[in-house]
Protein backbone atom coordinates (compact mmCIF):
# COMPACT_ATOMS: atom_id res chain seq x y z
CA UNK A 1 0.00 0.00 0.00
CA UNK A 2 2.82 2.46 0.80
CA UNK A 3 5.33 1.34 -1.84
CA UNK A 4 4.11 3.79 -4.53
CA UNK A 5 4.64 6.75 -2.21
CA UNK A 6 7.92 6.13 -0.36
CA UNK A 7 11.32 5.78 -2.02
CA UNK A 8 14.87 5.13 -0.80
CA UNK A 9 16.26 8.22 0.91
CA UNK A 10 12.86 9.80 1.61
CA UNK A 11 12.06 11.75 4.73
CA UNK A 12 8.73 10.49 6.09
CA UNK A 13 6.48 11.52 8.97
CA UNK A 14 4.10 8.90 10.42
CA UNK A 15 1.60 10.87 12.49
CA UNK A 16 -0.37 8.83 15.01
CA UNK A 17 2.06 5.95 14.56
CA UNK A 18 0.95 3.94 17.60
CA UNK A 19 3.23 0.92 18.01
CA UNK A 20 4.58 1.34 14.48
CA UNK A 21 2.36 -0.86 12.33
CA UNK A 22 3.30 1.30 9.34
CA UNK A 23 6.50 2.85 10.71
CA UNK A 24 8.62 -0.28 10.32
CA UNK A 25 7.57 -0.90 6.68
CA UNK A 26 8.08 2.82 5.96
CA UNK A 27 11.62 2.58 7.36
CA UNK A 28 12.37 -0.41 5.14
CA UNK A 29 11.04 1.43 2.07
CA UNK A 30 13.02 4.60 2.85
CA UNK A 31 16.13 2.53 3.51
CA UNK A 32 19.24 3.45 5.50
CA UNK A 33 19.56 6.85 3.79
CA UNK A 34 15.94 7.73 4.57
CA UNK A 35 14.44 8.96 7.79
CA UNK A 36 11.12 8.27 9.51
CA UNK A 37 9.77 10.50 12.26
CA UNK A 38 7.10 8.60 14.16
CA UNK A 39 4.78 10.84 16.18
CA UNK A 40 2.24 9.73 18.77
CA UNK A 41 0.64 11.29 21.84
CA UNK A 42 1.26 8.21 24.00
CA UNK A 43 4.78 7.54 25.27
CA UNK A 44 3.80 3.91 25.89
CA UNK A 45 3.16 3.43 22.16
CA UNK A 46 6.45 5.11 21.26
CA UNK A 47 8.34 2.87 23.70
CA UNK A 48 6.83 -0.21 22.05
CA UNK A 49 7.74 1.21 18.62
CA UNK A 50 11.35 1.76 19.67
CA UNK A 51 11.56 -1.93 20.70
CA UNK A 52 10.08 -3.02 17.37
CA UNK A 53 12.51 -0.77 15.49
CA UNK A 54 15.38 -2.39 17.36
CA UNK A 55 14.16 -5.90 16.53
CA UNK A 56 13.85 -4.89 12.86
CA UNK A 57 17.26 -3.18 12.71
CA UNK A 58 15.85 0.24 11.74
CA UNK A 59 16.75 2.27 14.84
CA UNK A 60 19.09 4.48 12.79
CA UNK A 61 16.23 5.34 10.44
CA UNK A 62 13.39 5.85 12.95
CA UNK A 63 13.07 8.74 15.38
CA UNK A 64 10.14 8.88 17.78
CA UNK A 65 8.53 12.10 18.92
CA UNK A 66 5.92 12.64 21.62
CA UNK A 67 3.22 14.66 19.89
CA UNK A 68 1.01 17.53 20.90
CA UNK A 69 0.02 20.93 19.61
CA UNK A 70 2.78 22.26 17.36
CA UNK A 71 4.45 18.83 17.06
CA UNK A 72 5.39 19.18 13.41
CA UNK A 73 6.62 22.76 13.43
CA UNK A 74 10.33 21.98 13.74
CA UNK A 75 10.52 18.88 11.61
CA UNK A 76 12.75 18.75 8.55
CA UNK A 77 10.96 18.95 5.21
CA UNK A 78 9.13 15.71 4.45
CA UNK A 79 8.66 13.86 1.20
CA UNK A 80 5.70 11.90 2.56
CA UNK A 81 3.31 12.18 5.51
CA UNK A 82 1.06 9.34 6.63
CA UNK A 83 -2.17 10.06 8.50
CA UNK A 84 -3.73 6.64 9.00
CA UNK A 85 -7.00 6.27 10.93
CA UNK A 86 -6.20 9.05 13.36
CA UNK A 87 -7.06 12.48 12.02
CA UNK A 88 -10.69 12.33 13.19
CA UNK A 89 -9.27 12.47 16.74
CA UNK A 90 -7.37 15.72 16.14
CA UNK A 91 -9.21 18.66 17.78
CA UNK A 92 -7.60 21.48 15.75
CA UNK A 93 -7.67 19.98 12.28
CA UNK A 94 -7.13 23.22 10.32
CA UNK A 95 -4.10 24.15 12.45
CA UNK A 96 -2.69 20.62 12.09
CA UNK A 97 -3.15 20.70 8.32
CA UNK A 98 -1.28 24.02 8.20
CA UNK A 99 1.60 22.48 10.17
CA UNK A 100 1.64 19.46 7.86
CA UNK A 101 1.59 21.73 4.82
CA UNK A 102 4.51 23.69 6.22
CA UNK A 103 6.76 20.64 6.62
CA UNK A 104 5.88 19.11 3.27
CA UNK A 105 8.35 19.52 0.43
CA UNK A 106 6.96 21.25 -2.62
CA UNK A 107 6.57 17.89 -4.40
CA UNK A 108 5.67 15.92 -1.24
CA UNK A 109 2.55 13.86 -0.66
CA UNK A 110 0.17 13.16 2.22
CA UNK A 111 -1.78 9.91 2.42
CA UNK A 112 -4.88 10.67 4.44
CA UNK A 113 -6.88 7.58 5.48
CA UNK A 114 -9.88 7.40 7.81
CA UNK A 115 -12.00 4.40 8.91
CA UNK A 116 -15.45 4.27 7.32
CA UNK A 117 -16.84 2.87 10.58
CA UNK A 118 -15.94 5.95 12.68
CA UNK A 119 -15.82 8.74 10.12
CA UNK A 120 -18.85 9.55 7.97
CA UNK A 121 -18.02 10.31 4.34
CA UNK A 122 -19.39 13.84 4.80
CA UNK A 123 -16.84 14.52 7.58
CA UNK A 124 -14.02 13.06 5.52
CA UNK A 125 -14.94 15.24 2.54
CA UNK A 126 -15.14 18.30 4.81
CA UNK A 127 -11.56 17.70 5.94
CA UNK A 128 -10.44 17.31 2.32
CA UNK A 129 -12.21 20.60 1.52
CA UNK A 130 -10.29 22.34 4.32
CA UNK A 131 -7.05 20.85 2.99
CA UNK A 132 -7.75 22.19 -0.51
CA UNK A 133 -8.51 25.64 0.95
CA UNK A 134 -5.03 25.49 2.49
CA UNK A 135 -3.34 24.77 -0.82
CA UNK A 136 -3.38 20.99 -1.01
CA UNK A 137 -4.53 19.30 -4.19
CA UNK A 138 -6.37 16.00 -4.35
CA UNK A 139 -4.23 13.71 -6.48
CA UNK A 140 -6.20 10.50 -6.16
CA UNK A 141 -8.42 8.42 -3.90
CA UNK A 142 -6.49 5.13 -3.50
CA UNK A 143 -8.57 2.09 -2.67
CA UNK A 144 -7.86 1.06 0.92
CA UNK A 145 -10.14 -1.49 2.55
CA UNK A 146 -12.65 -0.23 5.11
CA UNK A 147 -11.40 3.32 4.59
CA UNK A 148 -11.97 6.71 3.05
CA UNK A 149 -8.67 7.78 1.53
CA UNK A 150 -7.06 10.65 -0.30
CA UNK A 151 -3.59 11.26 -1.61
CA UNK A 152 -2.88 14.97 -1.29
CA UNK A 153 -0.06 17.03 -2.68
CA UNK A 154 0.95 20.61 -2.58
CA UNK A 155 1.55 21.98 -6.01
CA UNK A 156 2.54 25.59 -5.74
CA UNK A 157 5.36 28.06 -5.82
CA UNK A 158 6.80 26.96 -2.50
CA UNK A 159 5.68 30.16 -0.76
CA UNK A 160 4.35 28.05 2.14
CA UNK A 161 7.86 26.80 2.81
CA UNK A 162 9.81 28.31 5.66
CA UNK A 163 13.46 29.07 4.98
CA UNK A 164 15.84 26.41 6.26
CA UNK A 165 18.09 27.56 9.13
Average pLDDT estimate for 43-71:
92
- What is the model's pLDDT at position 55? 97
Q: Does pLDDT of 45 surpass 70? A: yes
Q: Give the distance from CA 68 to its chain's centroid.
A: 14
d(CA 22, CA 35): 14
Question: Stretch 112-127: mean pLDDT, rounded?
Answer: 96
CATH number for region 11-153: 3.40.50.150
Is residue 49 within 8 Å of residue 62, measured between CB atoms? Answer: yes
Q: Is the pLDDT of residue 156 over 60?
A: no
Q: What DSSP designation does 88 have?
A: G
pLDDT at position 163 over 50 = no
Q: Determine which of 51-55, 59-63, 68-72, 105-109 has the lowest per-residue pLDDT on average.
A: 68-72
Looking at residue 68, what is its pLDDT?
A: 74
Give the model's pLDDT for residue 132.
96
Amino acid sequence: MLRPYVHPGDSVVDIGCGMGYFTIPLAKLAGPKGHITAIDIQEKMLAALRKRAERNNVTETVTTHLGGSGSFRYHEKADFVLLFWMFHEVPEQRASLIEIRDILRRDGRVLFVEPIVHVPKKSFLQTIRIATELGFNLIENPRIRFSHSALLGFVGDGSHEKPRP
